[in-house]
Chains A and B, each alone.
Chain A
């Protein structure tokens, strides 16, 4: 049936019968949402997070296009068919937003149980939509009527509200146990997705309802609901640039080029005279060509950096092999398997052995830092007694501490210190902090403490060293960072120790931080959850 009082649209949705503002607002937002969704997906097709973001972008685009069709099309069959999917779009968006945030926070896919809950929540919408969502069409007003049964009205709005609360609770729970860097990411992502969900569900439905009961003159305010996706995209953009979320390496450069092209291209909408059109066209072409070259250069640079990192890793592995073989040979010579050697030669062999051992350690440190950076480190989590490890490492370092004349003490509160984690890596954390304290403290005292909290253990190492300068405090856990004070004492430091320690602690779902005062010393704290490693 045709709405006989309205003009026929071109290409399903273009007609002079609606305000032009409708196209200027809906179409660019849809294009931006689709572009960013596709861009993120293509940056890393295998990432579930990226796929979910694409799915949300596509759903949002379907929503805007369907609203445009409902506003402009005059064929009842087409309008009803498109309108029919509104409930599904709302429901799926709500569920995918929860799924998206879960994957973002937990860095893993949802469990089967959770997916079954998602599908169960969606089932009523999928089952009832084709039969009960829409009853009829008014061809005079060109509008569906009785299109929302009470069930649908309540159900999909309830799903939206559920999504808001669910997402909020997930964000808060994770925020409380995360370290500073991830807290910032959670805040950004949370603001973006909650703004989107609020505007998409609450704003659109509330303004529509208020216009229906006559509290608002019309439902035009409903249109502002679509800007939620833009807020979401802006926050996603900040996350991509600042935190490399979504693994979009050339995002900054590409966005710059895209924005420039969009800006220049938009001039075509209000340029009417031929000379201006020619100038705009030439500017657009030149910007496009320069932009493509810029993106290629950035991409080449990133690829070159990645290739260098891979080559370095390969060479490091080879060097470790050589060190290990030589160390093995020297060890055999020292233990007398090749026969008796002179005391001078034995001394030289022992010196060489020590040197080889240090070399292996350096290479191992470098490889570990690379694994942490690339996220390929594997933790073998098993329950073990952290108290025994702390006591053992404290005792191991006692001779060094005594040699420097420190007051060297340990305090362990009563309680069970069995935690779930990778014993080898966590031993390294314990050992590294004591080693640093001894290494960088000239005189005074070192105190190692271990205490029990409700769901975690707190390990700390306090020294009476020179403290950390304000400038160094900002970059203390950065890769290759050499503190001004530490460099004076140990010029050969790799600058990887605390970077690795932080990587291991965070990999176990823990937190690391420090408190420092110039001239009085520094205390490093490590809080580890009893439940243990998040990454396997």
Chain B
């Protein structure tokens, strides 16, 4: 069907595409599998007693995961601190010195977020204290 004279040109087109695919694959492989050059976001630990946390109302079985902060870390730092799994890794929920790009965001009512209730005020019972005395 096709003219035989254009056979080499067809190959030229194919080779350019294949070469481009190989280059993109190699760079992507290096970026994602070796260098882990990307940001990772996740729900970090948050203590509603002392911090304003985001609340996950769907999850009412696990108190720990119900309240969370929004963490974002550079993947190589996270790999260094926690390996590939952040569960049971304390460093995952804080920005440690040396982290290249790290942020921890708390809930903000003014931004329209649904947040945990503010920590209850410390109530001092003078009578009780005196009784103890």
Contact = CB atoms under 8 A, between A and B. Distances in A.
Interface of A: 1-2, 4, 47-49, 75-77, 80-81, 84-85, 88, 92, 103, 107-109, 112, 115, 118-119, 122, 126, 129-131, 134-140, 145, 375, 536
Given A134-B38, A139-B40, 16 more contacts: A4-B42, A4-B85, A4-B87, A48-B1, A75-B84, A77-B36, A80-B32, A81-B33, A85-B24, A107-B2, A109-B3, A119-B16, A126-B23, A126-B24, A137-B38, A140-B42
Contacts of A109: 2-3, 6-7, 9-10
B109 interface: no
B24 to A, nearest CB: 5
Contacts of A140: 41-43
Contact of A137 (B27, B39, B43): B39
Contacts of B42: 4, 138-140
Nearest to A4: B87
Given A1-B75, A76-B40, A77-B33, A107 B24 contact: no
Contact of B39 (A88, A92, A136): A136
A353 B128 CA distance: 139
26 contacts: A1-B75, A4-B86, A47-B2, A48-B1, A48-B10, A76-B40, A76-B75, A77-B36, A81-B29, A84-B32, A88-B21, A92-B17, A103-B1, A108-B1, A115-B9, A122-B17, A126-B23, A130-B27, A130-B31, A131-B31, A137-B38, A138-B40, A138-B41, A138-B42, A139-B42, A139-B86
A379 B60 CA distance: 80
A236 to B, nearest CB: 16
A40 to B, nearest CB: 13
A109 B2 CA distance: 5
B64 interface: no
B75 A145 contact: no
Contacts of A88: 21, 24
B1 A107 contact: yes
Contacts of A145: 41
A108 B20 CA distance: 25
A2 B72 CA distance: 15
A441 B113 CA distance: 92
Interface in B1-55: 1-3, 6-7, 9-10, 12-13, 16-17, 20-21, 23-24, 27-29, 31-33, 36, 38-43
Interface secondary structure of B, over-half rule: helix
B78 interface: yes
Contacts of A49: 1
A119 B32 CA distance: 26
A109 B84 CA distance: 50
Nearest to B9: A112
A218 to B, nearest CB: 16
A48 B2 contact: yes
Contacts of B33: 77, 81
Contact of B3 (A2, A108, A119): A108
Contacts of B86: 1-2, 4, 139
Contacts of B17: 92, 119, 122
Nearest to B71: A140
B79 A1 contact: yes
Contacts of B21: 88
Contacts of A47: 1-2
Contacts of B12: 115
A118 B13 contact: yes
Contact of A129 (B1, B24, B32, B87): B24
**Which of B12, B13, B78 is packed against the most chain A CB atoms within 10 Å?**
B13
Nearest to B6: A109
Given A103-B2, A130-B31, A135 B39 contact: yes
Contacts of A375: 1
Nearest to B30: A130
Contacts of B75: 1, 76, 136-137
Contacts of A126: 20, 23-24
Contacts of B43: 140
A294 B32 CA distance: 50
**Which of B9, B24, B40, B79 is packed against the most chain A CB atoms within 10 Å?**
B24
